[in-house]
Amino acid sequence: MRVLLAAFAVLVAGFAHARAHTLDEVDAMLESDEKYFQQIDKPAPDFTLRTADGRIVRRADLTGKVVVLHFIYTSCPDVCPLHAEKIAEIQKMVNGTPMKGQVTFVTITTDPTRDTPEVLRNYGPAHGLDPVNWLFLTTTQDQPEDTTRKLAEAFGHKFSLSDDGYQMHGTVTHVIDKEGRWRANFHGLNFAPVNLITFVNALTNNVERPHHEQDEGWLAKLKSLF
């Protein structure tokens, strides 16, 4: 894995200032190659939440960063920890590249009553998430208990409660661009991390405008590593 991360970092650094594919081209590539990718282009749902230490975080505070966001609850016995660990894997790859300072990873609990500040503080280290560019958010003290579940619904999730109190909801990784537009979903746990990272890299490089030069085939080189 260290060799792959180093090679990935070299490739991203080498092509960071090169003419890149337009985002439409990246979307088209992912739609043909990544069956768990969903292209979206609309304003991300707004939110005002807080960290375990009580710091208020608004969606607008993340403007200027590409945001990789997902929902979990810490007492989930199966899918949620696997999702967190997949995000940690992606974070480690991103943080080995020049993208590190341009990307924020956000986890939001849908069970704020049981996910106390102490629980929130311990969850990240237990699953390999690096606090350097990761936030774990919950409701503020004056918000209704279902605030984050309603936010998840605004991101397209549907909830049902099992008889034993577990929450049943989809597993989706959402990507928001630097201007606060919701640009993509990666569904489930079987998507290739390099495909999400390729999409994030396009957003960090602001590749909205078409280019007129022959590309260097960097996407193919990047994907060949994984």
Average pLDDT per 10 consecutive residues for the chain, totaling 226 residues: 49 43 77 89 98 96 98 89 96 96 96 93 95 97 94 88 66 97 96 95 75 46 52
Tokens of 194: 């390099």
Question: What DSSP assignment string belongs to 96-130?
Answer: TSTTGGGEEEEEEES-TTTS-HHHHHHHHHHTT--
Q: Which residues of 71-95 are buried (b: 16+ CB within 10 A; e: fewer)?
A: bbbbebeeebeebbebbbebbbbbb
Q: Where are the beta strands (DSSP E) in the chain?
A: 37-43, 48-50, 56-58, 66-72, 103-109, 134-137, 160-161, 167-168, 172-176, 181-187
Sequence length of the chain is: 226
pLDDT at 167: 65
Residue 25 and residue 208 in contact, taking contact as beta carbons nearer than 8 Å: no
Whether residue 91 contacts residue 127, with contact meaning beta carbons closer than 8 Å, is answered with no
Residues 87/105, Cβ–Cβ less than 8 Å = yes
pLDDT value, residue 211: 40
Domain ranges across the chain: 2-224
Query: Which tokens is 38 given?
Result: 């969903």
Nearest to 134 by CA among 77, 191, 51, 73: 51
Regarding the domain with residue range 2-224, which homologous superfamily does it belong to in the CATH classification? Answer: Glutaredoxin (3.40.30.10)
DSSP SS3 for 220: helix
pLDDT of residue 124: 94
Q: Judge whether 146 and 109 are in contact, CB under 8 Å.
A: no
- Global pTM reads 0.82
